[in-house]
Structure 1
Amino acid sequence: MTGFFEKHRKLFFYLIAGIAFITIYAYNLLTPYLSDDYAYLIDVRKAHSLTDLVRQQYGEYLSNSGRIIGQFNVRLSLSIDKQIFNVINSLMFLLLVFLIYANIQKRKKYDSFVLLTILSFLWLFSVEFGQTMLWICGACNYLWGSVIILLFITVYRRLLQQPDRRHAVLVGAGMFLLGVLAGWCNENTSGGGLFLVLLYSLNFWTDRRKEKRKTVYPFMVSGIAGMCCGLLGMVMAPGVRKRSATMSEGDEYTGIVGLLSRAYKVIVNMHELFLVLMIMAVLILVLLSLQGKLKTFARIRTNDTVLFILAFLATSFVLALIPTPANRAFFGAGVFLMIACVQGIVEAREQKELAVQLLTCGLVSALCMILFFTYVENLVDLARIYREENERIALIEAEHGENEDGIVVIPQFREEFRTVYSVAHDSDLTDDKEYWINHFYEIYYDIGNITAIPRDEWDVRYGSRE
């Protein structure tokens, strides 16, 4: 059996990649416009050209958010057909998978084991999957942003491995531009990416200095400078200052006490979001230590598992500097931790002890089995949510045509369909017509008032329309 898989290694690798695309595409198909998508849809439909979208984004930069890259991608995505976005977003997910794969050292060529490990980790352990991978406003900021940041890190690491390249000026200019994009994606993830690049640069400088070889190259300076420029452009935006001031108004503590309070909340969030992954990371570090791969400081400082764990910690704890963020802000930190775990598993498997092989293969096999059942169960829930949202839109459009007063009552999503793979229940309409999401629906569908009540109550009042 092993010989058969080895013989057809390339075929199985691309077969898994194809299945990965189909599975995420199905979830994208079953994710309608939700939450803030409607706020941007209202804005985007006022634009008649790309220039108008740029003007809108500049206005948001001044008033609300410094994330020009992510937020402009939101506007572009909402200006095209949703079916086109479904394909693009599925490809971005696959690109994230391959970028993580590219950052795993010591793997085999066409390593299906590593690919399956990455896929199972992303599906099972990603932070708020529905908010960060599928919802348009979230995916453009977190999934797409992480792809850009990881692309920069991947290219930078490849250049460090072969620094003496031709066309140094062109490479340096390209790295500056890519660095600006990577730095302007997401506050804490871009910062974590910059921290990781600095660690790799420091290791490169230290090793080359010992060898009495050239220690600094143009692409290193330009790439890091680009990331710094992008990061500063984002965090210094007028809109960020205004938003931070608004979010800080309810803070009970300020100064050092406030910082410690926010650090405590970060630790609580890390416990809730990453407990399983952190346990894996600790066990992997213990195993690598027992195998003698972390004997000296030189080995520790150059170990990829250790470096990505440090990036995870930096990306998480930097959030203590700002008012308490949503859980999805930890998405990039989770990606770094997943890379650390996958890298550690691959390193541990280098030594062919039966116990290690059994442990790692058994772990990934178990995760794949869990993923199968998780995927099917949540696929059904997404289909139910998609059906109910289409029913609600049909009700709104029908009432819009029949009632002069434009008042419509629709059912809320059934609570039993709630899933982490959808943002639907976290931003559902309420019985308060002044609630923010109700207001967006009213404007978008041109209805005077929209309210929503629990499905059971709606069925009693208005009769089931299934």
Structure 2
Amino acid sequence: MCLKIRKHSWSLVILTVIFLIMLLLNLKTLYVADDYVYRFVYRSPSPTAIAHPEQIKTWLIPYSMWNHYLIWNGRFVAHSIVQYFMQFNSKFPFDICSSLVYLIMILFIDKFGRHFSNKKHNPFILPLIFVFTWFYLPYFGQSVLWLSGSGNYLWMSIIYLGFILFNFKNRATDPTNITSAIILGFLTGATNENSGPAAVLIVLLFMIKRFIQEQKINLISTISVIASGIGFMIMMLSPGSQARGNIHRTWTLIQNNIAGIFKLMIGQWIWLYLLLIILVGIAIFFRKLNIDAIWAIVFFVIGHLAAVYSMAFSPEYPARTFFGGVIFLGIALFIVIYALFGEVKQPMMLASIVAAICFLVSFIPAYQDINLTYHQMQTEYQIIEKSRSKKVTVPLITMPKSQYNANYGVIALDTPPTALMNQWEAKFFQVDQISGYRTE
């Protein structure tokens, strides 16, 4: 036992450091925007429509999600997680759990890299994966640190990545595997509109490859894919989603969206594409990749493109919706990195040190911005909680400058008490109204 712990000591140290970094960032991020809405049983997006909102409890989540499904959208899996954590009077349980979920996501990427490269675990690739996610996950604050955003993007990633991993094995047709396939497939289909279906596409591509090579179809994988289709259809047929997404999807609109997405891809990920192409070329030249690994890279890149370009059919495509697409691209990249460098420790240790320095250069200003917002919001909270009046006036936070800040580009308290978040926060803190003033 001691020998096993010693063998994985570097991994434990690295994962502990990553966990503490994420915990610090989560602790410094307070409630943001939609969090105040999901504090209550969902009945309306408008605070004025609810005279006396009822605080959410675990047993009320199904009823709340049914209302949400009818009125707003069909992401009942993500928002059930959000509402579960919004029932507590402290954000601390979420901060701990979400930091752990982030580690699971990193370990999934590492697992895929090892699986397809047939290499043993290299602890010094973990920092590279972390730095990759730090620099390339879109709007890190919104998709990872914001409670509602994290529930929709970070937490959903471990469901559809688990779905892909589950389907790699040719599992026996028994009640346990059938039940697991139905549940995991259904949840994957209902995660979100683009990343979940892209994960299903990746599994289908592997199934087609196996059928061509072996003329076999695994029944468990077939059941999981069918279940995912059911979950996806239930999510997409939400009356709330249908009503809010009722636009005319003209060819002109789709063309404009495709052009905008292509521009975003070139601007954000061109160096990743070039790096992937170069590393794949080197790996093939030195025969470090077998044909199965090459197909895996191709399939994950196809999943990446599917997750990204499927948003062309949406009326809008905020950058955080490309979360899953970035993860799939990262998996393709780390399959090659493991194939080329998985067996070398010293060069990877050096690469980890360089990556850590790059991270620190980026982290320090990001943390300063997050910390400033944290203290300003703490001041808001204290003024509201200590006020003896039911009409409170608070100083507003300064405009966040970093995309690592969960409040960056997100609706927040404003000056008039009639502003949307002013009304929701008034209900959250059980006061009649909250007004704001700017100190700048």
Do Structure 1 and Structure 2 share a fold, with TM-score over 0.5? Answer: yes
Q: Which amino acid aligns with 2:234?
A: G
Taking the TM superposition and a 5 Å limit, the aligned residue runs for 1:63-462 are 63-80=71-88, 81-104=90-113, 105-106=116-117, 108-157=119-168, 159-160=169-170, 163=171, 165=172, 168-209=174-215, 215-245=216-246, 248=247, 254-291=249-286, 299=291, 302-349=294-341, 364-399=352-387, 401-402=388-389, 406-408=391-393, 410-415=394-399, 418-426=401-409, 427-456=411-440
Shift in alpha-carbon separation, 1:432–1:269, aligned structure 2, 3 A: farther
C-alpha distance after superposition, 1:224-279 (max 9, x if no partner): 1111111111111111101202xx4xx8xx42112111111222232343333233
Q: Which amino acid aligns with 1:268?
A: K
Report what 2:65 is aligned to: 57
Shift in alpha-carbon separation, 1:175–1:363, aligned structure 2, 3 A: same
CA contact (8 A) 1:191 1:231 kept: yes
Q: Which protein shows a greater Rg?
A: 1
Q: CA deviation at 1:108?
A: 4.0
Question: Equivalents in 1 of 2:272, 2:435: separation in Å?
Answer: 41
**Deviates most, 118-127 or 190-199:** 118-127
**TM-score normalised to the size of structure 2?**
0.88
**Deviates most, 424-433 or 20-29:** 424-433
Q: CA deviation at 1:288?
A: 3.6
Question: Equivalents in 1 of 2:434, 2:415: separation in Å?
Answer: 8
CA contact (8 A) 2:108 2:161 kept: yes
Shift in alpha-carbon separation, 1:43–1:63, aligned structure 2, 3 A: same
Question: Equivalents in 1 of 2:343, 2:119: separation in Å?
Answer: 14
Question: Which sections of structure 2, spanning at least 5 residues, go unmatched?
Answer: 43-52
Q: Which amino acid aligns with 1:280?
A: L
Does the residue aligned with 1:216 lie in a helix, a strand or coil?
coil
* Percent of matched pairs sharing the same residue: 21
Higher relative contact order (CA 8 A, sep 6+): 2
C-alpha distance after superposition, 1:104-152 (max 9, x if no partner): 1326434112212211111221111111111110111111101111011
Question: Equivalents in 1 of 2:7, 2:343: separation in Å?
Answer: 21
Does the residue aligned with 2:153 lie in a helix, a strand or coil?
helix
Report what 2:46 is aligned to: none
Shift in alpha-carbon separation, 1:155–1:43, aligned structure 2, 3 A: same
CA contact (8 A) 2:414 2:436 kept: yes
CA contact (8 A) 1:13 1:110 kept: no
CA RMSD of aligned residues (A): 2.7
Report what 1:3 is aligned to: none
Question: Equivalents in 2 of 1:151, 1:300: separation in Å?
Answer: 20
C-alpha distance after superposition, 1:312-359 (max 9, x if no partner): 00110011111112211111111111111111222233798xxxx96x
Q: Which amino acid aligns with 1:117?
A: L
Higher helix share: 1
CA contact (8 A) 1:195 1:311 kept: yes
Shift in alpha-carbon separation, 1:395–1:275, aligned structure 2, 3 A: farther
Q: Which amino acid aligns with 1:420?
A: Q
Question: Equivalents in 2 of 1:351, 1:90: separation in Å?
Answer: 29
Question: Equivalents in 2 of 1:381, 1:305: separation in Å?
Answer: 37
C-alpha distance after superposition, 1:62-81 (max 9, x if no partner): 11111110011111010123
CA contact (8 A) 2:58 2:87 kept: no
Question: Equivalents in 2 of 1:361, 1:280: separation in Å?
Answer: 20
Q: How many residues align?
A: 423
Q: Which amino acid aligns with 1:326?
A: P
C-alpha distance after superposition, 1:169-227 (max 9, x if no partner): 43123212111111111110001101100111111111113xxxxx0122121111111
Report what 1:37 is aligned to: 35
Question: Equivalents in 2 of 1:7, 1:153: separation in Å?
Answer: 29
Q: Which amino acid aligns with 1:320?
A: A
**TM-score normalised to the size of structure 1?**
0.83
Question: Equivalents in 1 of 2:223, 2:37: separation in Å?
Answer: 37
